[in-house]
C-alpha cells in the first residue's frame, strides 16, 4: 500500500525539522510538508533540509492545506493519506498501527486516538471534545472518543470524497458525514506530546467559534 503522510505547517520553523525526522526515522512512508505561506522561515528550513514540500503562495488555513495534500495524494496514486500535525505533538511510531487497521480492512478511516483505551482527563478542552462526541453519538449512534485528534488516516475512496466535496474539513463533522455514508471509522490508541515551540492556533474566541461550527455542522448539516 502506498501511504502518504500530509504534514501541514504554518509558522512551524522550530518544530518542522524534528517532525519530519520523526516521520522518516520511524516509518518508510512518503511524506509531504504543506507550508501554508508561513510568516517565519518554515520554507527555508524545508528547502535547506531538502524536504519534500509544497509551498502555498497565500495563507488559507488548515482545511486548504490538508486539501492540497489530498490532491497530491490522489494525483500520485496513493492508497492511504494521513494527516499529521507539523507542531511535533504527534508521534510517528504509531502511524503504522493506523495503516495496519486500514490494510486489514477494519476501517476506512483510522483515528489516532488518545482515549481509545485510556480515560479522558478533565479539562476545558476535554469538555469540548466530550460535547462533540455526544453530538456525534446523537446523530450517528457511534461512539468516537477522541474526535478532535488531528492524526487521521484516510483510504483512497475518502481522499476522492474530500476532492469532490470542498465543504469537507479535516474536522469531526466530516466523520459524521462519512459515518452517514456508511464508511467504517476506527480509533487506534496513540500517545501525544505537548507542543514545545510556538503558539497553539486555538484561543478562547476561536475555540467558541470552533465549537459552534462543529455542533451546528454535526447536528444540522452533515
Single out the segment in contact with another protein by CB under 8 A; choices: 16-24, 50-58, 113-121, 146-154.
Answer: 50-58
Report the site for another protein in 101-130 (rule: CB under 8 A).
none
Contacts of residues 38-45 at CB distance under 8 Å and 24 or more positions apart, as own/partner, are: 38/9, 38/10, 38/11, 38/12, 38/13, 39/11, 40/11, 40/12, 40/13, 41/13, 42/9, 42/10, 42/11, 42/12, 42/13, 42/16, 44/13, 45/13, 45/16, 45/17
Q: What is d(CA 100, CA 125) in angstroms, rounded to the nearest whole number?
A: 29
In the numeric block, which cell numbers belong to residue 136? 456525534
**Cα separation of 159 and 174, whole Å?**
12
Does residue 72 interact with another protein by CB under 8 A?
Answer: yes
Name the burial class of residue 184, with classes exposed (0-12), middle (13-18) and buried (19+) by CB atoms within 10 angstroms of its CB. middle
Q: Does 177 bind another protein (CB under 8 A)?
A: no
Q: Is 54 or 215 the residue whose CB approaches another protein more closely?
A: 54
Examine residue 74 and tell whether it contacts another protein (CB under 8 A): no
Cell triple for 128: 469540548
Question: d(Cα 175, Cα 173) in Å, to the nearest integer?
Answer: 5
Pick the binder of another protein from 117, 166, 203, 206 (CB under 8 A): 166
* Identity of the residue, 54 or 202, whose beta carbon is nearer to another protein in the bound complex: 54
Min separation Cβ 190 and another protein, Å: 29
Reference 109, options 161, 165, 68; nearest CA is 161
Q: Which of 14, 54, 131, 134 binds another protein (CB under 8 A)?
A: 54
**Min. distance of Cβ 70 from another protein in angstroms?**
10
Closer residue to another protein (CB): 47 or 196 = 47
Closest by alpha carbon to 9, among 206, 21, 214, 41? 41
Q: Candidates 17-25, 48-56, 129-137, 184-192 — which segment interacts with another protein by CB under 8 A?
A: 48-56
Applying CB under 8 A, does 68 fall inside the site for another protein? Answer: yes
Residue 96 cell numbers, joined: 503504522
The residue within the footprint of another protein, chosen from 14, 26, 30, 60 (CB under 8 A), is: 60
The verdict on 163 binding another protein (CB under 8 A) reads no
Among positions 28, 39, 57, 204, the unique one binding another protein when judged by CB under 8 A: 57
In the complex, minimum distance from the CB of residue 61 to another protein, in angstroms, rounded to a whole number? 9
Residues that bind another protein (CB under 8 A): 53-58, 60, 64, 67-68, 71-72, 166
Amino acid at each position: 500500500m502506498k501511504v502518504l503522510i500530509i504534514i501541514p505547517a504554518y509558522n512551524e520553523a522550530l518544530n518542522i525539522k524534528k517532525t519530519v525526522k520523526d516521520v522518516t526515522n520511524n516509518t518508510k512512508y512518503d511524506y509531504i510538508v504543506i507550508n501554508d505561506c508561513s510568516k517565519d522561515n518554515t520554507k527555508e528550513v524545508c528547502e535547506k533540509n531538502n524536504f519534500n514540500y509544497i509551498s502555498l503562495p497565500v495563507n488559507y488555513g488548515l482545511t486548504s492545506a490538508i486539501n492540497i495534500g489530498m490532491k497530491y495524494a490522489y494525483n500520485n496514486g496513493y492508497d492511504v493519506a494521513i494527516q499529521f500535525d507539523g507542531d511535533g505533538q504527534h508521534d510517528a511510531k504509531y502511524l503504522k498501527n493506523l495503516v495496519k487497521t486500514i490494510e486489514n480492512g477494519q476501517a476506512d478511516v483510522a483515528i489516532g486516538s488518545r482515549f481509545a483505551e485510556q480515560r479522558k482527563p478533565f479539562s476545558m478542552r476535554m469538555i469540548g471534545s466530550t460535547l462533540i462526541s455526544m453530538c456525534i453519538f446523537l446523530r450517528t449512534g457511534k461512539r468516537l472518543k477522541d474526535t478532535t485528534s488531528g492524526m487521521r488516516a484516510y483510504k483512497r475512496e475518502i481522499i476522492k470524497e474530500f476532492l469532490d466535496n470542498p465543504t469537507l474539513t479535516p474536522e469531526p463533522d466530516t466523520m459524521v458525514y462519512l459515518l452517514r455514508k456508511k464508511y467504517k471509522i476506527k480509533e487506534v490508541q496513540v500517545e501525544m506530546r505537548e507542543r514545545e515551540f510556538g503558539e497553539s492556533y486555538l484561543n478562547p474566541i476561536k475555540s467558541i467559534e470552533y465549537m459552534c461550527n462543529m455542533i451546528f455542522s454535526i447536528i444540522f448539516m452533515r
